[in-house]
Structure 1
Amino acid sequence: MTYRLHIDPSLHATYKSLPDQARRDLAVCLLDALVDPFAHSTCYGIDDGVMRTIAHGHTAGVILIGDDTVTVVQITHIG
């Protein structure tokens, strides 16, 4: 199953403001997560099966996994 991506417009603005490499890193993580979010993410704190972390390079994100959706709730770039 392929999940649908949801991202708030203000968080999308944060994504657009990232450097090119950081946007690519996060995009790859999100594409992988849409195919299998549990295989391509790690626990965010306590493993509740809903909040997960994706990361590559200097960019990370926190996602919320629903029945058929992946929602981006946080983006972090250290650069």
Structure 2
Amino acid sequence: MKPVYEKIEEIRKEKGVTKTSIAKKCNKTVAWYHGISTGKRKANVDSLQEIAYALEVDVRIFFESKLSVMQNKSEEVI
């Protein structure tokens, strides 16, 4: 499973969006976004929602593989 910050960067690159563009859409500095996208700064729920909005994706996509693993484990218990 990839860390959330790696998933954010992967999506950003796939969409061809710059770090500056994401920061502007979030009304934050590029340094703020860079910190989150490199894992040096922890992203809270609000930050993740802002980034998801800027990337035009559902915030749950950042946790997609983690949710799948949790769902599979819960199915094994049943």
TM-score norm. by structure 1 comes to 0.34
Greater helix percent: which structure?
A: 2
Q: Which has the larger radius of gyration?
A: 2
Q: Higher strand fraction: Structure 1 or Structure 2?
A: 1
